[in-house]
Structure formats: C-alpha cells, structure tokens
C-alpha cells in the first residue's frame, strides 16, 4: 500500500512540475508592471527600480523561473503584493473556508446522488428516472450564480431561514458553522447531484444486466440485497471515479459561489488577486488548485484498490 502511494506520487512529479511552470508562465503574460504597481502613484523611477531589483524582476525570464521552482521546493511561494503577508499564509488562512464548503457539499451530494441513481436504475423509466435525467441536464445548463441569487431571495430574504452571506468558523460551534455553509453547499451540490445520479444509474444498469444478478434473484435474495450488495457494490469503481471528478469540479464551482455568498475562501482570494494584479498570489493559488486536482486523482487511483480488491497496480 505504502509502495503504491509512493509510486503514484513519483509518477505525478512531471505533471506537478509542468503545472508549476504553467502557473509561472501564465502570470508572465499579465500586462502591467508589478514594480510600478507596488511603488504606488508618483513614485520615482529610482524607487521603482529598487522594487524591481528586490523582486528580481530585472533578471532574465529563465532565471526567475528557476528561482520560482527552487523556492517552491522549499515551500516558499513568495509574498503577496497587496495583502502584506506571504502567499502561503494568505492561502492557509482561507483554505479552511473552501474545504468546509467542499466537505459539506460532498456530504450532501454523495448520499443523495447515489440513492437517486440506484433508485433510477431499479425503477427504469419511472418518474424518478425521468426526474434524475432532468436534474442532471439542468445541472449542466443553469448558471450557478443565478440559482444562488434566486436561492438567497427565497430562503434568506423571503423566508428568513438561512443567512445570506458570511462564514462562521468551526471553532464557534458545529451548528452555526453548518448553518452558514448550508445554503452555498446546497447550491453547489445541486449542480453535482444529477451528474452523480446519472453516472451511478448507468453503472448500475450495466451491472444489473449480468448473470450473477439473475443468480442472486433466482436463489431468492431479497431485492434490496440484490440492488445494494450485489449490484451497487460492483459499481463502486465507477462511482468513486465520478466522486473524485466532482470534488475537482467543486473547486472551480467554489470560485463563483464564494463570491455570491461572500465566503472568505480561496476562490474569492483568487478573484481579488487577479483584479488587483497580485502576481505572486495568483501564481500561488493557481498552483494550489492544480496540485489539489492532481492529488485528488492520485487519491482516487489508490482508493480503487480499497473498494475493489481485484484492482492491482503491479
């Protein structure tokens, strides 16, 4: 097991390196001179030059790249131009918010999506089946920020059930934390539930066609046992793949939802950083998002072995 983790991580190194280089190059495309920006209005050419030297912006591009990668290896992502703190601490401060949102959202999506998918497969062409298809289609067609605003009008403004914005840390108690995240998490989940249900359904349909299912029914196993123990158990690989993918979709989705619900997470940070042309911060957050994506994929690969002992990577 440990060996497997080590092998997977080693294989990921080239991709991680390319991600780091891409994150660096992308920011080099940004117009505007960060030195001018930092020096402020009416700064002398000398002051600008000083800042440029301090940030090493006067060096050739490849030298900057090498220095960015070597600093990266020692866990140093530079200092934000606008926030007066290091990129690592700025991100670390906001990561719990984004993670909380993702966790609550996944905790809603996974059981609901799987349940809907299994029911839809068991009751093919019933109204539940049609509803699952419709939810999946709406999930890829309706803009999340629009639903978020409509949801705030209904649940916060009209009914007054849920707060419309803001974040409460977990240390202030579980319930206030959950209450603050419930609405954004449900909005995010709304867009993933249909997708998960649809994929679970098609994986279930494949399995339910097989001989051993007929055998299980023939020997008199109750239908619920056939569905869950014989059927669903064998779709876990497919379901796990989709859940991993959904987790990475949540990262992108959080950028917009955090904005609407004024949650101080990493998604909001990156939008602010782009608007303020805070190069190191944008670079750092892009890199973080990229790394998380790769790590989720590795975790999914490894979990395959756990949910299905037949899978081997030797």
- 83 or 121, CB closer to other proteins? 121
Which stretches does DSSP call E strand in 109-262?
Answer: none
In the complex, the smallest distance separating the C-beta of residue 93 from other proteins, rounded to whole angstroms, is 19
Would you count residue 29 as binding other proteins (CB under 8 A)? Answer: yes
Q: How far is the CB of 133 from other proteins (least distance, A)?
A: 9
Under the binding rule (CB under 8 A), the answer on residue 22 touching other proteins is: yes
Measured CA to CA, the distance from residue 196 to residue 134 in angstroms comes to 13
Q: Provide the total of helices (H) and of strands (E) in the chain, helices listed first.
A: 13, 0
* CA–CA dist 107, 296 (Å, integer): 16
Question: Does 40 participate in binding other proteins (rule CB under 8 A)?
Answer: no
14 is an interface residue for other proteins by CB under 8 A? yes
Segment (H or E) for 255: helix 236-260
d(CA 257, CA 189): 11
Complex with other proteins: residue 92 or 275, whichever CB lies closer: 275
Residue 62 burial class via C-beta count within 10 angstroms: exposed 0-12, middle 13-18, buried 19 and up = exposed
Q: Helix, strand, coil % (nearest 5) of the chain?
A: 75, 0, 20
Span interacting with other proteins, options 23-31, 70-78, 91-99, 220-228, rule CB under 8 A? 23-31
User: Among residues 189 and 287, whose Cβ is nearest to other proteins?
Assistant: 287
Q: Which is nearer to other proteins, 66 or 138 (CB)?
A: 138
CA distance 249 to 193: 12
Count of CB atoms within 10 A of residue 285's CB? 25
The closest of 103, 100, 105, 71 to 287, measured between CA atoms, is: 71
If one asks whether residue 121 binds other proteins (CB under 8 A), the answer comes out as: yes
Nearer to other proteins, 47 or 299 (CB): 299
By CB under 8 A, is residue 255 in contact with other proteins? yes
Q: Which residues neighbour 90 within 8 Å (Cβ) at sequence distance 6 or greater?
A: 80, 83, 269, 281, 284
Contacting other proteins (CB under 8 A), which of 26, 107, 123, 307?
A: 26
Minimum separation from the CB atom of position 48 to other proteins (A): 21
Which residues, 185 to 224, sit near other proteins by CB under 8 A? 198, 201-202, 205
**Residues found near other proteins in the complex (CB under 8 A):** 14-15, 18-19, 22, 26-27, 29-31, 121, 124, 137-138, 140-146, 149-150, 152-153, 157, 198, 201-202, 205, 248-249, 251-252, 255-256, 259, 270-271, 274-275, 277, 282, 286, 289-291, 293-294
């Amino acid at each position: 097991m440990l060996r497997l983790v080590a092998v997977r991580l080693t294989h990921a190194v080239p991709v991680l390196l390319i991600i780091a280089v891409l994150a660096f190059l992308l920011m080099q495309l940004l117009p505007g001179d960060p030195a001018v920006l930092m020096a402020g209005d009416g700064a002398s050419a000398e002051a600008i030059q000083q800042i440029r030297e301090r940030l090493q912006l006067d060096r050739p591009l490849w030298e900057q790249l090498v220095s960015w990668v070597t600093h990266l290896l020692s866990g140093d992502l530079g200092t934000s131009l606008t926030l007066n703190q290091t990129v690592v601490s700025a991100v670390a401060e906001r990561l719990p918010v984004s993670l909380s949102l993702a966790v609550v959202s996944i905790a809603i999506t996974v059981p609901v999506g799987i349940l809907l998918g299994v029911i839809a497969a068991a009751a093919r062409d019933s109204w539940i089946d049609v509803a699952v298809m419709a939810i999946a289609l709406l999930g890829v067609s309706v803009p999340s920020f629009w639903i978020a605003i409509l949801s705030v009008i209904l649940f916060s403004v009209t009914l007054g059930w849920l707060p419309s914005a803001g974040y409460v840390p977990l240390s202030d108690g579980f319930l206030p934390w959950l209450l603050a995240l419930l609405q954004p998490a449900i909005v995010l989940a709304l867009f993933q539930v249909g997708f998960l249900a649809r994929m679970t359904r098609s994986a279930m349909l494949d399995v339910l066609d097989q001989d051993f299912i007929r055998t299980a029914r023939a020997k008199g196993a109750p239908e619920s046992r056939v569905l869950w123990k014989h059927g669903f158990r064998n779709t876990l690989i497919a379901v796990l793949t989709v859940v991993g993918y959904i987790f990475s979709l949540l990262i992108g989705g959080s950028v917009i939802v955090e904005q609407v619900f004024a949650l101080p997470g990493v998604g909001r940070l990156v939008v602010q950083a782009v608007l303020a042309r805070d190069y190191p911060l944008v670079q750092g957050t892009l890199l973080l998002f990229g790394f998380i994506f790769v790590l989720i994929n590795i975790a999914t690969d490894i979990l395959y072995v756990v949910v299905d002992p037949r899978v081997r990577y030797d």
